[in-house]
Each structure stands twice: as C-alpha cells, then as structure tokens.
Amino acid sequence: MSNDTIQEISIFAVDMAMRAGELIKQERRNGELEKSYKPNDELVTNADLKADELITKHIRKVYPDHRILSEESAPDALTIKDIDSPIWIIDPIDGTVNYAHGHHQVAVSIAYAEAGQVQTGVVHCPFQNETFQAIRGKHSLLNHNPIEVSHKHNLRKALIGTGFPYDKSNLEPLIRRLRAVVNNCQDIRRVGSAAIDICWVAMGRLDGFYESLSPWDFAAAQLIAEQAGAQCGHFSGVPSGVLESLYGEDILIATPELYDELEELLQNASIT
C-alpha cells in the first residue's frame, strides 16, 4: 500500500460521495419517494437503492478486485472476517428516516479498508454542504479544513449524541443508559444519522456519542473522529475472534477528556 494509492482512493471516494449526494438531493426534489420496509421495520427508499447502485457500480468498474460491504446491496456484515485485503464499506444514505421526513441531517458514508485497518473515509452531507474526510496518519478535514475534538473536560457542560435501533423490542437497557447520561451532561442530541453524530464529535459540535451500530454506519466516521483526536472504543466487552475496529455493539466515541467518565456511567447503567 503506498500513500499515493490511498490518496487516489480517497479522491475517488469523495467524488463518489459527492455524486451520490447530488442524486439523493435530486430524488427528493423530484417529489414522492418510494418507501418500503425491511423485515426489522427499517425504512428504505428508492434513493437509498439508487445511491447504492451508483457507488457500487463505479467501484466494481475501477477496482474490480476489491470486496464491497454495502448496506443495501451486500449487507452481510458477518462475512467480513478480516480487512486485510481491500474492502469498501458503504452506507448510501445514513439518516434515511430524516431523509424521508425532509430533514437535512443525511449523509453518504464511504470507507476503504486494507492492511487490517480503515485507511480512508468520507462522510458527505449533501443538504448541509459539509464533507468530512480522513486519511489514516494524515488528516481529518471538514470542507478541506482540519478539525479537532472539543477537548471539553466537564461532563456537565457536554452535549452527548446517541441513537435508537429500528427494532424497539428491547428498549429498557437503552432507557437506563439514556437516564444515566442525561442526568450527568448538559443535554442529549438524537441527530438521526450516526455517521454525522460521530463527525460532529470529531469537529466539536458534540463531545461524545454512544450507540450500537452496523459497520457501514460508523466505519468512515470513526476514522474521521480518530484522526481528529477522539477516543474510540466500546463500553462493553468485545467477543474474542471478532474484528474489534468494525464491531458495532456498544460503541463509545468521545473527546478523550470525557471518555472514561462516560464509559463508567454507561457500564454502571448496563448492570441490571
């Protein structure tokens, strides 16, 4: 892997994210969205599918040997045992419920991994004209300007993001954690796009974020946060044999000054 290649791949990923962003905006401008529901009640629109097709088609054309893990066309996260050989991890629309309700917090998320790590990632927010991108060991940028976490020390003054799953059958542990966090911070935000939540931690609009997610929700944003100085981990154990960097259960990403305190709160609230 040469830096030049990662740089080229990063430029390609940003270009794909921008094109998908335009498509997503166009589809909403065109009027009625076709909506359907996956078996777990997860909403999907025609724009999710079209954006997925646009991105994956181009990757297959330019990088025919690379693997693709995409929420809409190749969603089997269990098949990624390793990220040693090149793999793309894509969420064509993160924030589909926001999208369908006319909100602006919507992102295209594209990550590229090889040699055991996500190497570059982009989270493009077409309605907000904000593009977050990172290259491992190099930089984390918002619209080409370097970003950094808030470095806030005081949890009482901190704004913390979280989210809730589509499947509402086991909300009790989430409510316990929410109660613990909201009682100890300034306030909570439920932005509706995990990729944006994590990028907002990276640039200091949020001071911390926790949720259980799928790899496509956070692969790109986590690198953006890491490179901007965030501490990234899990507030519960990671089972042995799984790929820790893409393990989505009980993720915690925060400015390092608040990580331990949040981790303790979340762990205590998880004990029944």
When asked if residue 94 is in the footprint of Ca ion (CB under 5 A), the reply is: yes
CA diameter of the chain: 51
| Both structure tokens of 40 | 């777990």
Q: Looking only at residues 51 through 90 of this chain, which bind ligand IPD when binding is defined by CB under 6 A?
A: none
Binds ligand IPD by CB under 6 A, chosen from 27, 91, 114, 226: 91
Of 9 and 108, CB closest to ligand IPD: 108
Under the criterion CB under 6 A, does residue 95 sit at the interface with ligand IPD? yes
Does residue 96 bind ligand IPD (CB under 6 A)?
A: yes
Binding mask 158-197 for Ca ion (x = CB under 5 A): ----------------------------------------
If one counts every other C-beta atom within 10 angstroms of the C-beta of residue 230, the result is: 27
What 211-215 contacts at long range (C-beta under 8 Å, 24+ apart), as own/partner pairs, is 211/162, 211/163, 211/164, 211/251, 212/165, 212/248, 212/249, 212/250, 212/251, 213/163, 213/248, 213/251, 214/71, 214/75, 214/77, 214/248, 215/69, 215/77, 215/80, 215/89, 215/246, 215/248
Kindly state whether residue 193 participates in binding ligand IPD, applying the rule CB under 6 A.
Answer: yes
How would DSSP label each residue in 70-136? ETTTB--GGG-S--SS-EEEEEEEE-HHHHHTT-S--EEEEEEEETTEEEEEEEEETTTTEEEEEET
By CB under 6 A, the residues from 153 to 172 that bind ligand IPD are 163-165
Task: Return the amino acid letter for 96.
Answer: T
- Decide: is 213 part of the binding site for ligand IPD (CB under 6 A): yes
Cα angle at 25 between 56 and 45, to 5 degrees? 60
Number of residues that bind ligand IPD (CB under 6 A): 15
Among 27, 52, 72, 94, binds ligand IPD (CB under 6 A): 94
Q: Would you count residue 222 as binding ligand IPD (CB under 6 A)?
A: no
x-or-dash string of contact with Ca ion, 24-63, rule CB under 5 A: ----------------------------------------
165 binds, options ligand IPD, Ca ion, none, Cβ within 5 to 8 A by partner type: ligand IPD
Applying CB under 5 A, does 91 fall inside the site for Ca ion?
Answer: yes
Q: Specify the 3-state DSSP secondary structure of 29.
A: helix
Task: Take residue 188 and report the two structure tokens written for it.
Answer: 């909570």
Chain position whose Cβ is nearest to ligand IPD = 163
Q: Which parts of this chain interact with ligand IPD (CB under 6 A)? A: 42, 91, 93-96, 163-165, 192-194, 211, 213, 217
Q: Which parts of this chain interact with Ca ion (CB under 5 A)? A: 71, 91, 93-94, 217
